[in-house]
Structure 1
Amino acid sequence: MVAKALLFIFIHLLASASLALPDNSLRIVTENWPPVTYEKEGQAQGMAVELAHLIQKEMGESDPIEVLPWPRAYHVAKTRPNTLLFTVVRTPEREQLFTLLGPIANGEIAIYTRRTADLSFSDLNYVKENYSVAVHRGTAFHKVLEDNGYKKIVPVNSSISGLKMLMAGRVDMLCDDVLAIHRISEEAGYPYDAQKKVTSLQHSSLYFAFSKNTDKDIIEKWKRSFEKIKKNGTYKALYKKWFGPLSSPTEVLLVSNGKKAPIIEL
């Protein structure tokens, strides 16, 4: 009986010690934002997902990629070490919250309306005060609208939901990115060109975001592999596949605590 008790205590101590060990595995999370990132038949898909897989292949690794609602994915990345979130629009706030690696892609945050809309957009101040605009809640797009003084912001759970509200006439406008707007329209069941741009708000640059206290060796391995893919032409071909004639960014940049590492032009 004593021997069994001692054995039980020994196993329990081993288990406790095991649980106390640091978890150096990388958790990778993304969101549903086609065509950059999305889920199909239970698998992560999209331009940035393919890029992540290419980087993983270069490193000889295969950590799974989870597709989560944006608020949850963002919370995980802010609170859990050794987490990679993508894609993240680079902002000064996020430069402090994460270590950013990119750019994955360069886009443009803009306001869109229905192509058939009979609305006046000649007075931008009037637009900001009186027209409702849907936006994916908690995203950089949401923050840009607030910073630009839009008063009738309607937060939604996804860009596709926002586009459906726009086309149904429940809101006047939608805020999203030129990289995604046409694919979002198709995913929502509307023609490719069902919407038109009202105004551009700012250029966007999309990055991988590593959480605080992520192992520096992990980040360095991702950086080196990303550099190789940009240098050998694989990245440029991937960009053309997804974004056609849009110019692909050639540099690799690492930003940590607001400090930029030297740009590597490839």
Structure 2
Amino acid sequence: MPAVRLFAAVLLLLGGSLAQAQNLVLLTENLAPFNQSVSGRNFAKNDGITGISSDTLHAVCKRAEVECQQILRFPWQRVYQQALDEPGYGLFSTARTPAREKLFKWVGPIASNDWVLMAKADSPIQLSDLQGAAKYRIGGYKGDAISQYLIDRGLPVQTALRDNKNVEKLLKGQIDLWVTADPSGRYVARQEGLDALRVVQRFHTAELYLALNLATPDELVQRLQGALDALRAEGELSAIVARY
């Protein structure tokens, strides 16, 4: 009889561990219209976060029957490192680049985003290719894949800890070009009072993913991916995009 009770206790403990393994904390930042704080602040949880990617992942986790807590926190570098280092954590909306491929397990794509160089609407700058931007002062977001894309190609990028600082620099004439994403960059600019922007160069379209810590069980990753694929086939993802 004691052996039976011991076996039952072991099963109970294992069951608790397995249940805990199905819980995920999904980190993000303000990147409208994909993920953003309802209040506009740099910290939010669950219902305080909205956007295409946020709504998509709420639907995915519900379909997959996975308990997912969404947390929006600043800055991007901090949440990126936490998802990289800590089991049970994920990060969205994340560009899936070759440099990041083996650092995470991936679910997606959950959205797509164009990478662009923007200038003020009255700027005379014209570019025939990306390398032509090398002679201009370029502002970017520290730790962001878009900025890194240019840096890796030898272009000089002045990175800022907050992306809205680049809007301020553009307004003050401290930079000539801003490397950002479209439409999310336009949203950031509008928040800072700059509506008149012009895309000088559109150089990449990035598919955005949920990046999960490498310790995430493969079975869990597959469940989330299956849920995402099913929602896409049913037209639910298109309906979410249409709301924004």
Same fold? TM cut 0.5: yes
- Asked if the contact 1:82/1:215 (under 8 Å) is kept, the reply is no
Q: Which runs of 5+ in 2 are unaligned?
A: 1-12
Q: Name 1:181's counterpart in structure 2.
A: 185
Q: How far does the alpha carbon of each residue in 1:107-163 deviate from its partner, in whole angstroms, 9 at most, with x for none?
A: 2211111001244546865530x3111111111112111123212x11012332212
Is 2:39 the counterpart of 1:37? no
Aligned residues: 219
1:135 aligned to which of 120, 140, 152: 140
**CA offset at residue 93 of structure 1?**
1.5
In structure 2, what residue type is equivalent to 1:227? D
Identity %: 22
1:245 alignment counterpart: none
Alignment partner of 1:162 out of 163, 166, 169: 166
Which string of whole-angstrom CA distances, capped at 9 and with x for unpartnered residues, describes residues 37-74 of structure 1?
Answer: 12123322211111111112223444321112200111
Cα distance in structure 2, aligned partners of 1:78 and 1:93 = 13
Q: Retained in 2: the 8 A contact 1:59–1:221?
A: yes
CA contact (8 A) 1:28 1:84 kept: yes
Q: 2:222 matched to 1:217? A: no
Quick check: 1:113–1:173 contact (8 Å CA) kept in 2?
yes
Partner of 2:25: 27
* Aligned 8 A contact 2:147 2:180 in 1: no
Contact 2:167 2:194 in 1 (8 A): no
Please say if 1:49 is aligned against 2:23: no
**TM-score, normalising length: structure 2:** 0.82
> What residue ranges of structure 1 are gaps of 5+ in the alignment?
1-16, 243-266
Question: Does the C-alpha gap of structure 1 residues 165 and 220 become closer, same or farther in structure 2, counting only changes over 3 Å?
Answer: same
Spell out the pairing of 1:107-256 with structure 2 (5 A cutoff): 107-119=113-125, 121=127, 125=131, 127-128=133-134, 130-151=135-156, 153-191=157-195, 194-242=196-244
**Alignment partner, residue 100 of structure 2:** 94
In structure 2, the residue matched to 1:83 is 89
Indicate the structure (1 or 2) with the bigger Cα radius of gyration. 1
Runs of 4+ in 1 over 6 A off after TM superposition: none
- The equivalent residue for 1:259 is none
d(CA) in 2 for partners of 1:55, 1:34: 20
1:182 shift after superposition: 2.1
